[in-house]
Structure 1
């Protein structure tokens, strides 16, 4: 009842308000991204959401599209632009996901949507993270974010599935704001991309 009705209505209402408020910021980001490097403004990647449904998650592009320099393959860290590094550290790169929320593909709060190829690597318990709508922030993000292992993240995701409620979402929402402002648990993990999940506990 809560997730399908109350939470969905709250998501749509807040997403509409935030899109209007953040519009100048998003326009400025688009201009900066376009001025700094060639390529599209937005980055889209296939992810899995609730009930394993496939969708395209939308973010601001934070990396150069070039993968080679003088014949040498660039690492993800080398490809991140100056603007992109700032967007990642401040989580502004996530703002376009407000449109994913409007389309019903994501929620403000829920397990982060991950790559489809991970699905066959989950154990039975880890797969339960897909019983609820994916979110921009979640219980794992406010309890370590990228500073914890995949195994710990999945345990926190499943904890959220078992305890989803307005009170829990309210707590995660404000903890997210606190951590973004403090840049808590944002070390090199938000500048570098996360290592791929290989199906083994870390």
Structure 2
């Protein structure tokens, strides 16, 4: 049932939000010259996939987890995108392709060994990663691997259609601040 919601929301979301996607893409060209950011992340069953986002950091920024990146690497336009969560919109493509769900554990980098171990021991990789979820609306990021993995497991155990919509609405209305930056 959730896959049907994911497909419909991502399909119609991409169509309805296409003007916003175009405006952000054009603005991103003026900001960094490279508005789209793609990075290999770990998906369901630990299968790698390419996550698509709008770029919020300078092009020269090393590919590390957000909590390890310097706040000085975020551009002014990137700050706006993060605050409004518009940087996440291209992930609707990942959802449409079936690589992600709208709700699920945020996909980690392939190099986050501590988090991978914590999540693997709790069965987190048995489901699709998501754009948002319990950890995101409670400001729990990847800097606390054990706490994040425990929160992800709790979300999985309590997942329902009601919670699916609850997390989407909470995210859309501004709950959660996004990834921490040092």
**Structure 1, residues 42-94: CA drift from partner, whole Å, max 9, x if none?**
10111111111110000001112235xxxxxxx63222111111101111000
Residue 156 (structure 2) pairs with residue 161 (structure 1): yes
Q: Distance in 1 between matches of 2:83 and 2:169?
A: 18
| Secondary structure of 1:18's aligned partner | helix
| Secondary structure of 2:134's aligned partner | coil
Unaligned runs of 5+ in 2: 62-68
Q: Distance in 2 between matches of 1:173 and 1:36?
A: 29
Contact 2:103 2:131 in 1 (8 A): yes
Choose 1 or 2 for highest CA Rg.
1
Between stretches 58-67 and 45-54, larger displacement belongs to: 58-67
2:93 equivalent in structure 1: 99
Residue 45 (structure 2) pairs with residue 51 (structure 1): yes
Question: What do you get for the CA RMSD once the two structures are aligned?
Answer: 2.4
Unaligned runs of 5+ in 1: 1-5, 68-74, 194-202
Distance change in 2, residues 1:41/1:148 (3 Å): closer
Q: Distance in 1 between matches of 2:109 and 2:103?
A: 18
| Count, aligned residues | 175
Q: Distance in 2 between matches of 1:114 and 1:187?
A: 14
**Aligned structure 1 segments of 4 or more residues deviating by more than 4 angstroms:** 124-127
TM-score, normalisation: structure 2: 0.85
Contact 2:95 2:101 in 1 (8 A): yes
Which of these residues, 104, 108, 116, is aligned with residue 102 of structure 2?
Answer: 108
